[in-house]
């Protein structure tokens, strides 16, 4: 097998997604600990010290304790290259998460044992289902009291419209939590609350009728475990790797990430079954990872990774071929050749220079403003990767410069933050006023905070009464012209110059759609 193909088969690229507070960032960190990528967990909370978790590295994330931008982390485990994309759980940042899901081959969804399936989990799982992305569920926080295991499996199936296949099963929970039985490997793993899960904590039981089981977990727990496992095997389908890879069944694991428990079982099974890099759809054709020639797309832009240097980084998912440092690649939208002297790979906020990257890898490219989300790089072929959405915002405010002496910094900061996809900016045609549209409230705070801390500029917001912004197109130029003349004061352009209709109310939007049947109104723009 060529070295290129063996590198390709070593790759596993996945996203961790969940509702806020389900323990997603903690799980990410524990996976990195197993991979030897970090030495100490950042979630050490004592009265005086609170180290931030490794993957949250933006100032506002440290203050709020939530992830608001996707972090990319790579590490080696069992001779495989694992690439994790840790996504924001907060629903105000769902757009960033949707885009990240276009760059991964599978996902791990974290569910809180007490809260079960929450609204944000439903939305994100739906995006995975649309793409048939293979999903593994990790039910977290078993060291606390929560819902019954069977009840949780039912809830996951009903609310998320998936078929589950439990591959581990808890023995008690909260105060009575004794461990998990790993059905995938037929092993009993005993819980040790100190977070040091050593190899000797797991005991192999090929057959649960073995009388030694009582010695380890006591009589009543052994009896319940045998009954429950028998019931699970009767009710749920046996694990089938192809059904998982096709998105037809979803394995479920139980554990406690903060205690580092059940995480190793999840990771060991994941590296066995998770897909290697998958083909990607473009408008022109299907791109396969094993092709010779490099291609990749930008799914995220991050301004000011290092505020001292004002640099932007474009995150590129390698889809085919091999990416090499200092080689010329074609930027399809700009129709220009670029070469990249210092591409990077990420370990949370640490960056390392990279010589080459393979399909499944995420490469960080320093950017002076040439990239937008959705841009394609290739060795020459004109390709356009599909399905990277921008959503129609639901909250709007006018944004004004609050410091006349800092107009330049204000304009530059806004432009760069909009390129990142943090929010969308519309410029009203009638008066030139800037309107920021977001999916959630928190993004306004993030913009204000980052303008001040990263660009030394201040902004203030003013209310604007809008219900929806939608992109407009039409094959009938005369109809479009008439529409633009009649609704002059409701027309704006987005940062790419595309026409946008700003509807003040749901009723106005509906009326306009009825009155102008030849004009198309779009609620997502695939960038």
| Residue 432 or 259, more confident | 432
- Each residue of 123-166: pLDDT tens digit? 778 778 877 889 999 999 988 888 999 999 999 999 998 999 99
Query: Of 317, 401, 437, which is closest to residue 365 (Cα–Cα)?
Result: 317
Strand partners, 81: 11, 76
- Residue 43 confidence (pLDDT) above 60: no
Mean pLDDT of 100-125: 86
Q: Which of 75-84, 197-206, 243-252, 291-300 has the lowest mean pLDDT?
A: 197-206
Q: For the chain, how far is it from start to end, CA to CA, in angstroms?
A: 38
Q: What percent of the chain has pLDDT over 70?
A: 82
- Asked if residue 92 has pLDDT above 80, the reply is no
Q: Nearest to residue 56, comparing CAs of 79, 40, 73?
A: 73
* Token representation of residue 309: 């240097």
Q: Please write the tens of the pLDDT for every residue from 444-502.
A: 888 888 888 888 999 999 999 999 888 999 999 999 999 999 999 999 998 888 899 99
How buried is residue 377: exposed, middle or buried, by Cβ count under 10 Å (0-12/13-18/19+)?
buried
Q: Best-predicted range by mean pLDDT among 263-267, 330-334, 446-450?
A: 330-334
How far is C-alpha 167 from the chain's CA centre? 24
pLDDT of residue 51 exceeding 70, the answer is: no
Residues whose CB is less than 8 angstroms from the CB of residue 527 and which lie 6 or more positions away in sequence, other chains included: 372, 373, 374, 388, 389, 390, 496
Architecture of domain 3-273: 3-Layer(aba) Sandwich (3.40)
d(CA 75, CA 146): 32
Token pair belonging to 483: 């529409």
pLDDT at 60: 40
| Tokens of residue 253, six digits | 């694991």
Counted residue by residue, the chain has a size of 527
Structure tokens, 305: 């990774």
pLDDT value at position 61? 45
Q: SS3 for 161-208, per residue? A: CCCEEECEEEECCHHHCCEEEECCCCEEEECCCCCCCCHHHEEECCCC
pLDDT at 435 > cutoff 80: yes
DSSP lists the bridge partners of residue 14 as 84, 106
pLDDT at 74 over 90: no
HSE-CB of 59 using CA atoms within 13 angstroms: 14
Query: Which residue has tokens 């290259």?
Result: 81
pLDDT value of residue 215: 74
**CA atoms of 171 and 226, how far apart (whole Å):** 10
Is pLDDT larger for residue 324 or for residue 353? 324
Dist. CA 315–CA 113, nearest whole Å: 33
Specify the 3-state DSSP secondary structure of 146: coil
Helix axes 442-455, 407-419, angle to 10 degrees: 130
Return the higher-pLDDT residue of 17 and 11: 11
Position 348 scores a pLDDT of: 47
From residue 399, give the alpha-carbon distance in Å to each of 186, 410, 411, 457.
Answer: 59, 10, 11, 12
At residue 527, the pLDDT reads: 41
Where along the chain do its domains lie? 3-273, 280-378, 392-526
CATH placement of domain 392-526: 3.30.70.3280
- Residue 9 near residue 360, CB atoms below 8 Å: no
pLDDT for res 428: 93
Q: Is 510 exposed, middle or buried (0-12, 13-18, 19+ CB in 10 A)?
A: exposed
Domains 3-273 and 280-378 share a fold: yes
Q: Residue 137: name the closest of 105, 179, 108 by CA.
A: 108
- In whole angstroms, give the CA distance from residue 194 to residue 186: 24
For the domain made up of 280-378, give the CATH fold: Rossmann fold (3.40.50)
Q: Is the pLDDT reported for residue 251 higher than 80?
A: yes
**Cα(204)–Cα(202) distance, rounded to whole angstroms?**
7
Average pLDDT score, the chain: 82
Residue 37 has pLDDT above 60, yes or no: no
Closest CA to 359 of 6, 98, 77: 6
The DSSP-derived string for 226-255 is: HHHHHHHHHHSPPP-HHHHHTTS-EEEEE-
- What backbone torsions phi and psi does residue 257 show, to the nearest 5 degrees? -65, -40
Q: What pLDDT, on the 0 to 100 scale, is given for residue 209?
A: 72
Instruction: Kindly tell me if the per-residue pLDDT of 89 is higher than 60.
Output: no
Say if strands 250-254 and 164-166 run parallel, antiparallel, or are unpaired: parallel
Say yes or no to pLDDT of 50 above 60: no
Query: How many CA atoms lie within 13 Å of 464's alpha carbon, on the beta-carbon side?
Result: 26
Contact 318, 72 (CB under 8 A): no
C-beta of residue 420 within 8 angstroms of C-beta of residue 298? no
Residue 193's pLDDT band, with cuts at 50, 70 and 90, is low
pLDDT the model gives residue 387 = 67
pLDDT at site 245: 94
Cα distances from 138 to residues 126, 208, 245, in angstroms, run 17, 23, 17
- Return the structure tokens found at 311: 């640099």
β-pairing verdict for 11-18 and 106-112? parallel
């Amino acid at each position: 097998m060529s070295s290129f193909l063996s590198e390709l088969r070593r790759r596993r690229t996945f996203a961790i997604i969940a509702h806020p507070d389900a323990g997603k960032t903690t799980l990410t960190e524990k996976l990195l600990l197993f991979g030897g990528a970090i030495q100490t967990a950042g979630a050490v909370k004592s009265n005086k010290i609170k180290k931030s978790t490794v993957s949250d590295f933006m100032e506002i994330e440290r203050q709020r304790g939530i992830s608001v931008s996707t972090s990319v982390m790579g590490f080696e485990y069992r001779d495989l290259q694992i690439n994790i994309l840790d996504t924001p759980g907060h629903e105000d940042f769902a757009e960033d998460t949707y885009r990240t899901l276009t760059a991964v081959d599978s996902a791990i969804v974290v569910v809180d044992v007490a809260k079960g399936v929450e609204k944000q989990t439903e939305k994100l799982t739906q995006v995975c289902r649309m793409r048939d992305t293979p999903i593994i569920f990790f039910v977290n926080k078993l060291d606390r009291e929560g819902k019954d295991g069977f009840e949780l499996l039912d809830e996951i199936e009903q609310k998320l419209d998936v078929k589950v296949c439990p591959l581990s099963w808890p023995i008690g929970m909260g105060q009575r939590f004794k461990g998990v039985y790993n059905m995938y490997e037929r092993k009993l793993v005993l819980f040790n609350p100190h977070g040091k899960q050593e190899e000797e904590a797991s005991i192999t039981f090929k057959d649960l009728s073995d009388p030694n089981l009582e010695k380890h977990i006591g009589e009543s727990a052994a009896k319940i475990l045998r009954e429950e496992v028998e019931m699970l095997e009767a009710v749920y389908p046996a694990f089938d790797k192809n059904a998982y890879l096709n998105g037809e069944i979803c394995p479920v694991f139980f554990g406690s990430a903060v205690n580092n428990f059940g995480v190793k079982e999840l990771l060991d099974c994941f590296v066995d079954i998770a897909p290697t890099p998958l083909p990607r759809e473009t408008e022109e054709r299907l791109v396969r990872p094993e092709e010779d020639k490099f291609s990749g797309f930008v799914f995220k832009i991050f301004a000011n990774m290092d505020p001292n240097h004002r640099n932007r980084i474009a995150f590129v998912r390698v889809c085919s071929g091999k990416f090499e440092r200092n080689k010329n690649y074609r930027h399809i939208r700009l129709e220009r050749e670029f070469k990249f002297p210092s591409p990077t790979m990420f370990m949370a906020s640490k960056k390392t220079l990279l010589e080459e990257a393979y399909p499944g890898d995420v490469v960080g490219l320093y950017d002076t403003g040439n990239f937008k989300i959705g841009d394609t790089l290739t060795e020459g072929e004109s390709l356009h990767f599909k399905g990277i959405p921008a959503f129609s915002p639901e909250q709007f405010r006018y944004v004004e410069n609050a410091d006349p002496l800092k107009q330049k910094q204000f304009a530059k900061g806004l432009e760069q933050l909009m390129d990142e996809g943090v929010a969308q900016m519309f410029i009203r045609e009638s008066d030139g006023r800037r309107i920021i549209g977001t999916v959630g409230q928190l993004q306004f705070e993030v913009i204000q905070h980052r303008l001040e801390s990263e660009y030394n500029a201040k902004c203030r917001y003013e209310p604007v009464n809008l219900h929806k912004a939608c992109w407009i197109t039409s094959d009938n130029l005369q109809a479009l012209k008439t529409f633009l003349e009649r609704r002059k004061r409701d027309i704006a352009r987005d940062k790419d110059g595309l026409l946008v209709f700003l509807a003040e109310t749901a009723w106005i939007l509906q009326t306009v759609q009825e009155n102008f049947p030849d004009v198309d109104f779009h609620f997502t723009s695939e960038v």
